[in-house]
Structure 1
Amino acid sequence: MTTEPYTPAQVPERLFADAEAENRWQARFHAARMSLPGWPLDAPDACVYVSNASGVWEVYTWDRRTGEHRRVTDRPNGTLHATLSPDGKWVWWFNDTDGDEFGSWRRQPFTGDHTDAVPALNEVPDGYPAGLEIGERLTAAGVSTDEGSRLYAVTAEGTECFYENADDASVAALSRDETLLAISHSEHGDSRHPAVRVLTTAGFGTVADKWDGQGKGLTPLSFSPVAGDQRLLVLHERRGREELLVWDTATDTETELPLDLPGEVVADWYPAADALLVVHFHQGRSSLHRYDLATGELTALDNPAGSIGNASVRPDGTVEYSWSSGAEPSSIRARTPDGDDRILLSPPGDRAPGSAAIGDAFVEGAGGRIHALISRPVDAPDGPLPTVFNLHGGPHSADEDRFSAYRATWLDAGFAVVEVNYRGSTGYGSAWRDAIEGRPGLTELEDVAAVHDWAVGSGLADPKRCVVNGGSWGGYLTLLALGTQPTRWAAGVAAVPVADYVAAYEDEMEQLRSFDRALFGGSPEDVPAVYDECSPITYVEAVAAPVLVLAGDNDPRCPIRQIENYLDRLRRRDAPYEFYRYDAGHGSLVIAETIKQTAIEVGFARRALGME
């Protein structure tokens, strides 16, 4: 028995009576944004990026020689994954069906458009993407299906499946001379802490295989950009947090890089392979550094305070990066070797209106000190405020001091916003990230409860007007919170959630089943009690607050059937809920749809709290 899709009866035509406020919140979503342009080493003037300038996130090219920007894909539900061939002559993009993430790679000329696209890898079967490395002589592509992982090599001589395993694996890095290929695998049974294997592309024999043992992942990042240099940059967590090492595969020697930085890091090579560009994350903010491999000197590059999305180094040493803060919309910036830092690219149209700055709270919890990001509406009254606890997805992710049109809308609507980097979040060390193993969901909610207590006790949050909200894993936590903490919440908003974990496991993509087995300690057949204890549907009879659920018909991560199971149980109880169902996958790449969903969510919460 399933619940029929239900569009909320009171979808607001507008959120605000004031025309200026109404225009401002929608303008933040409509304002054109773009990802950091990427380029191939041998053709640095050919760039590719994704942007929402057309109203849908699509792929664009930028010819730095002519200055021309062009949209090159055109699909109803958008296109998010793209790269360029080494010579810059071909744009590759992933072709799925209406956001279901299952499909194949297509390619088209850099100077063409979507009508010129052709299948890029004819003999590689469709599946969920599991890495892609394009060389001049060899292309390696990974595919994940219900049967597991298969990795393929494509050359002029034909297509070869060189790796196959039931556990999660992916193509990670191809050496500059295309003689070595690094893959990430989880043959030891734990995809959350992967191993790295380096293969020779002449026969795909193993050069070396490394795994640091239980609870200690090794993540291959990239080979040196210099031909003949067989050093591989790797993330490790041997000292309880993600750090860097350089593995010289030719001599099988490692050099760990213990950087004097709190938090965690990721990095990429400078073009001459003499230094690394390090992106450092700590307490919700990012910073850029240059690490000299010969001297070990670490130099801060003094980027503005906020968060960095991606960063790369141009052939002349200029560092280009995407940046934003809670108050300032995103921009693409460039920092020259002499220290000049400026905006490099501005998308067409008006810049998004700004928003409120973000503060911090540090709250003691059962598992240690919890970091939360706190935002208050501009000119908010001093008394306790209606407050939305916006729980991030992942779970292995983190909230940051970055710009969010979504957060800004809640602030404009009069809510304080609390974002909790609960146990399970990244950037706070391996123990914090892995503390949810064996008891996911309930562990995170202990931290959310502690921050909720702090928010009420500090006078920020009105205890009778607290909303729990999130998407994906945050949606899962939202439904679990409504059932296990029913007296804390006046309403819940869950977007693309896990609602019935056993049914979700049955229907979700294999990559997530592998993740769940590592997180829960096995499959639902192996540890049924854990899945039962940690599934929102177990507690559905205790849900007291009205709940809004939003879900995509084609979602492979949080499939629709298990959400229908949960809503059917609510319906049998005559519990108050609303259900918005849309034709896309794990979220939408269409801006008009995003605006509609945001209006539905904020409007629902305001009605539930009696604010309208």
Structure 2
Amino acid sequence: MSSEPATGWRTRFEVPIRVSSTRCPGATGVELLLEIGKTGREVSFWDPATGAITPVGGLPPHVDCPAPGPHGRSVLMLKDETGAEIGHLWSFPADGGPGTDLTPDLPGYALRGIDVAEDGSAIVIAAADEAGFGLWLLRPGLEPRHLYQSPYEAWNSRVSADGAYASINTTDHNPGVRRFAVTVSDEHGTVVGVLSDGPEAPVQGIRFSPAPGDPRILVSTERTGFARPAVWHPVTGERVDVDAPDLAGDVVPLDWSDDANLLLLAHVDEGIHRLYEFDLRSAELTALDHPDGAYFSPDVASPLPVYWTSHYGPGREIRLVRQRFDLPMEVLVLDSPRQEPRTLLASAPVVAGTALGSERIASRDGTKLQLWAAAPRTATGPVPTVLSVHGGPNLVTVGAYEPAAQAWLDEGFGYAALNYRGSVTFGREFREGFWGAVGDRELEDVEAARNWLVDNGIASEVFITGASYGGFLTLLSLGRLPGLFAGGLASVAMADWRLAYDDMAPALQAAWRGFIGGTPETAPERFAHSSPLTYVEHVRAPVLISQGRADSRTPARQASEYVRRLRAAGGDALLDWFEGGHETTSTTAMAETMDRELGLVRRALRGERWS
């Protein structure tokens, strides 16, 4: 291995990539930091009062979605041996001592929710296994208590400040359809309330009141077709909605203040974030003074409902977790809504990058789409361009720092990222736009984005790339839109729904039964229609698939079969294996992938085969 210092785009992967900053339960104000380092994911505790950052040692190799334990004295996370995301919740002490299995007698499960009571008295988890979806209450020294069970999708466990109540997002009222209601039970498992806005309008739990003895819960509703906050008392049924009629698009609830009087909200309009504060006593909505950037990133199908988010600190202090495409994560603080924010935790030093603009484009049927796009600063005309499509599908590309995007731009390529139908924060109709015809509407959107890049003089040729569902769309685009793309770079991609269904985790099977509209046995034609494997004979561009051997979301067997069939049809395909599950976890691996993809794209531009 070379000992020469990194230069050019490689320097972007020499700096740890900060992923999140999450406030710990309790009044200390300490935060848990998650970073991607050279050898893996690194967890630290950061005390903003002193500036001290203390790394946590002794964690297992597959660190995924860690949550801060009570009072910042421990780290909670799923421990699994392979990265397949099936295991048990463990608690690891902050001082690096040996961890403890918190559910030793349960069968292995996928963790689909975790929350800790503000007073540290309880933890609740949502666990999915062969038996279905369950809600469990964990108290120190006691056996786990089973609060809820359903064969239908149920995600995102929340717990009240004193551990007296727990919630989970449920679909019992609408089986097989991902439009949630919020079900709240007491600590004995007795349901005390269900909040539903009917079969068309989902409701999701965000956070219980941080005030002890207050059972109210902050929720996100969609009665208007767009996200709006509400505060609901599950015992009395009292409800306060924040309608915000003057704001178009989603208004996403993020957090509430320690005294439970103020709400932190994010307005999303064409991908642009603007933060507001709502006073529950006066019903006043106040715009916050902050610089441009992204201030939260929602997650799906994971233990935590967000990858990272802005939130309240002690008292009424607002901690703005901020990124831009050309700026790594930093934490700013607002002591008052109308004051200038000050820096609490500076972003990592990186070379100056290129900002991406938010473009509004139209799909084939006139649906409005949001596209992030930029040409390299050296461009004097169209250049080869990379089009990225995110995973999920119920995720979104926010305007956050992405070292790979900057690396492409550093090397003279254009770069764009599409929020296609299926993306969140653009309203319910847009988010559900792919239901029942998986791949069809998304490909119309991909085609529109590709053509926009060419027609507007940014792209000469376009390479498509994506991971997970984005990898699926990459492969599907190459088979159903032949001739539009110069190559495809897919990671942990879904290549064949039929083969994958038998191998994937039960939690994912339930989701895809709803999205596709049946099982491989009851709807074989839908599974075939939506599978890239069906179209391998039409693929004309070279293909790279990077695949984890232990992946339970997009399993290994179907990726192998796709490459075998494509090669048999005369296609140009590579399959790169890595040890682990659904994602790589180190900047070293990310840099190696970047180097590999840059080399392949340049070979394609020279007319050379990849395989």
The residue aligned with 2:543 is: 547
Contact 1:124 1:159 in 2 (8 A): no
Q: What is the CA RMSD across the aligned residues, in angstroms?
A: 2.3
Distance 2:20 2:242 in 1: 27
Residues 242-265 of structure 1, C-alpha deviations (whole Å, 9 max, x = no match): 111111223112221112322212
2:40 counterpart letter in structure 1: V
2:422 to 424, 429, 447: 424
Distance 2:147 2:25 in 1: 26
- Taking the TM superposition and a 5 Å limit, the aligned residue runs for 1:475-494 are 475-494=471-490
The residue aligned with 1:37 is: 21
Distance change >3 Å, CA 413–CA 102, structure 1 → 2: same
1:452 and 2:450 correspond: yes
- Taking the TM superposition and a 5 Å limit, the aligned residue runs for 1:113-512 are 113=96, 115-135=97-117, 136-155=120-139, 156-170=141-155, 172-187=157-172, 188-190=174-176, 192-201=178-187, 203-259=188-244, 260-264=246-250, 265-309=252-296, 310-337=309-336, 339-346=339-346, 351-365=349-363, 366-382=365-381, 384-462=382-460, 465-512=461-508
1:477 counterpart letter in structure 2: L
The residue aligned with 2:79 is: 95
Residues 249-305 of structure 1, C-alpha deviations (whole Å, 9 max, x = no match): 231122211123222123211111111011222222212211111222111112211
The residue aligned with 2:590 is: 594
The residue aligned with 1:3 is: none
Distance 2:438 2:528 in 1: 11
Distance 2:145 2:335 in 1: 43
TM superposition shift of 1:218:
1.1
TM superposition shift of 1:67:
4.1
Distance 2:109 2:423 in 1: 28
TM superposition shift of 1:319:
1.2
Contact 1:73 1:79 in 2 (8 A): no
TM superposition shift of 1:53:
4.5
Distance 1:276 1:206 in 2: 26
Residues 27-53 of structure 1, C-alpha deviations (whole Å, 9 max, x = no match): 212212334433344342443221234
The residue aligned with 1:563 is: 559
Contact 2:215 2:233 in 1 (8 A): yes
Residues 497-543 of structure 1, C-alpha deviations (whole Å, 9 max, x = no match): 00011111211122221211121122222222111111101101111
Contact 1:50 1:80 in 2 (8 A): no
Gaps of 5+ in 2: 297-308
2:485 counterpart letter in structure 1: W
Distance change >3 Å, CA 24–CA 500, structure 1 → 2: same
TM superposition shift of 1:376:
0.6
- What's the secondary structure of 1:212's corresponding residue? coil
Count matched residues.
588
The residue aligned with 1:528 is: 524
Gaps of 5+ in 1: 1-11
TM superposition shift of 1:78:
4.2
Distance 1:325 1:278 in 2: 19
Give runs of ≥4 in structure 1 deviating > 6 Å: none
2:10 counterpart letter in structure 1: Q
Distance change >3 Å, CA 170–CA 402, structure 1 → 2: closer
Contact 2:27 2:314 in 1 (8 A): no
Give the percent of matched residue pairs that are identical in Structure 1 and Structure 2. Answer: 29
- What's the secondary structure of 1:153's corresponding residue? strand
Distance 2:295 2:227 in 1: 17
Structure with bigger RCO (C-alpha 8 Å, 6+ apart): 1
Distance 1:69 1:307 in 2: 24
1:120 counterpart letter in structure 2: L
1:481 counterpart letter in structure 2: S
Distance change >3 Å, CA 134–CA 359, structure 1 → 2: closer
Distance 1:78 1:58 in 2: 10
Q: Using the TM superposition, name which of 119-128 and 469-478 deviates more.
A: 119-128
Distance 1:65 1:360 in 2: 36
2:261 counterpart letter in structure 1: D
- What's the secondary structure of 1:513's corresponding residue? helix
Contact 1:222 1:233 in 2 (8 A): yes
